[in-house]
Amino acid sequence: MSEPEFRPGLADVPVAESAISFIDGKRARLEYRGIAVEALARESTFEETSWLLLKGALPTQRELALFDRDLKQNRSLKYRQIDILKCLPPSGHPMEALQASLAALGMFFPAKEDAWESILHLVAKTTTLVAAFHRVRHGEEALAPREDLGHAANFFYMLTGKEPSAPVARVLDACLILHAEHTMNASTFAARVVGSTQANPYSVISAAVGALSGPLHGGANEEVLEMLDEIGDHSKAKAWLEDAIATKKKIMGFGHRVYKVKDPRATVLQELAEHVFTETGRPAAYETALSLEAAANTLLGPKGIYPNVDFFSGIVYSSLGIPRDLFTPMFAMSRVVGWLSHWTEQMRHNRIFRPEQVFTGQRDQPFIPLEQRP
Ligand code: ACO
């Protein structure tokens, strides 16, 4: 029998049948349950989009009202859950704190918890964990969630102690919608693999957070700002890019396994960001980003390398005063919905993942006793 073909990174290898989201990478099209993500970012809310992803169809008014109520009622953390955050090193990365605290969260709920209950806890409390860790690492008390605020606005409040203006709440809500789901990426696959073992959903989401934390995946938005700092000024963007290409540097926030045109999420986020910038002023990093994008259109465009969603998300967050190391946790706060949608789908037709390998090592080697080894 011939060896199966090995595809590094499982490129183009289907690992599941899924009805959750769809990408046409050549036409810049991303749909959640058949609906264009741009329409959702402009017209929907994170709560409504979450229901759509998790349940498969837009909610009725009553379903949405009950879901919204249930999320609000599940936002708060117990004292001991906050104490866990206080025990973590304040200098550690918030993604590590999130991964650890989500895994620990599962210990507070019954092993055979109803799946929907787990989903409510995870969607509602991930946001609270991110905000609470940020406050306790700075020696401040975690703020209790407010039931009069929507999901995104409440996050901003729990983080900063301030209520966001309507445009700021809107752009944050849209960012959550845009990051909620994205077909079979590395963290979603990690969630499916862990879920396929029938591990509890808190372990599933904790594993997915670990996968998302890497700089080639969710960690890119943080590195984009570092790159824009390094460029310094928009007038230097073209020369910097030429040098980066010559020295084979990866341009953070550019390129995508699936999109060979500009990521539709980047386009809609840019549009929403412009609204926020009328309030906060256009940050210098945005001017640099625009010059870099213009130069990249000529230099990288022919290779199908264009901005992805993370090219702009970090600029928006930092214009709102959100620290860089919270960008990826904010991505996780949103993507938890996509991961749980895939977990739900996986559990419906589950078979444990057990892929194949192409063996390249030696065989039939003798065991040489320690004293006889050279
Ligand atoms: N800058 C410069 N060159 C790039 C970039 C980039 N950002 N992305 C791809 N390329 C080049 C590669 O060097 C390679 O060139 P070669 O054929 O001459 O060797 C070619 O394009 C193919 O690149 P791969 O890395 O094989 O593409 P892959 O599909 O495996 O990777 C990835 C996609 C990881 C996103 C890549 O584009 C990248 O590292 N981008 C920067 C990090 C980033 O922004 N990640 C966020 C992704 S979006 C998200 O997770 C939400």
Q: Please tell me if the CB atom of residue 310 comes closer than 6 angstroms to any atom of ligand 1.
A: yes
> Closest Cα partner for 173 from 276, 62, 295, 26?
276
Q: Per the structure block, which two tokens stand in for 114?
A: 């109803």
CB 311 within 8 A of CB 255: no
pLDDT at 1: 58
pLDDT digits 0-9 by tens, 269-305: 898 888 888 888 889 999 999 999 999 999 999 999 9
Residue nearest to atom 28 of ligand 1 (CA): 257
Residue 253 CA, closest ligand 1 atom number: 44
d(CA 123, CA 194): 18
d(CA 156, CA 187): 25
What is the Å distance from ligand 1's center to 144 Cα?
40
What is the Å distance from ligand 1's center to 256 Cα?
6
pLDDT at 218: 85
What is the Å distance from ligand 1's center to 64 Cα?
39
| Residue from 68, 173, 263, 310 carrying the catalytic annotation | 310
CB 101 within 8 A of CB 81: yes
What is the Å distance from ligand 1's center to 304 Cα?
10
pLDDT digits 0-9 by tens, 110-126: 888 899 999 999 999 99
Hunting for tokens 């960690």 — which residue is that?
Answer: 219
Annotated catalytic residue 310? yes
Q: Per the structure block, which two tokens stand in for 65?
A: 């009202």
Residue nearest to atom 24 of ligand 1 (CA): 257
Query: Average of pLDDT values for 50-67?
Result: 98
Q: Per the structure block, which two tokens stand in for 353?
A: 């993942």
Q: Per the structure block, which two tokens stand in for 340?
A: 């749980």
Q: Please tell me if the CB atom of residue 255 comes closer than 6 angstroms to any atom of ligand 1.
A: yes
DSSP string, 321-337: T--GGGHHHHHHHHHHH
Residue 224 CA, closest ligand 1 atom number: 44
- Residues 199-211 as b/e (b if ≥16 CB within 10 A, e otherwise) read ebbbbbbbbbbbb
d(CA 54, CA 77): 23
pLDDT at 139: 97
pLDDT digits 0-9 by tens, 12-38: 899 999 999 999 999 999 999 999 999
The number of residues making up the chain comes to 374
- Give phi and psi for 254, each to the nearest 5: -120, 150
pLDDT digits 0-9 by tens, 115-172: 999 999 999 999 999 999 999 999 999 999 999 999 999 999 999 999 999 989 999 9
- Which letter does DSSP use for residue 254 in this model? B
- Between 216 and 176, name the one with better pLDDT: 176
Question: Helical H runs in the chain?
Answer: 37-43, 46-55, 61-73, 79-87, 94-105, 115-137, 151-160, 166-178, 186-196, 201-212, 220-231, 237-246, 264-280, 284-299, 310-319, 327-348
Residue 252 has pLDDT above 90, yes or no: yes
Annotated catalytic residue 243? no
Distances (CA, A) of 323 to 46, 119, 172, 229, 328: 22, 28, 14, 14, 11
pLDDT digits 0-9 by tens, 354-363: 999 999 999 9
Q: Please tell me if the CB atom of residue 250 comes closer than 6 angstroms to any atom of ligand 1.
A: yes
| Residue from 179, 256, 263, 342 carrying the catalytic annotation | 256
* Percent of the chain scoring above 70 in pLDDT: 99
What is the Å distance from ligand 1's center to 255 Cα?
5
Residue 2 has pLDDT above 80, yes or no: no
pLDDT at 151: 98
pTM above 0.95, yes or no: no
d(CA 311, CA 293): 9
HEC readout, 275-305: HHHHHHCCCHHHHHHHHHHHHHHHHCHHHCC
Q: Please tell me if the CB atom of residue 305 comes closer than 6 angstroms to any atom of ligand 1.
A: yes
Q: Per the structure block, which two tokens stand in for 214?
A: 């890497």
Burial class (CB in 10 A: 0-12, 13-18, 19+), 42: middle
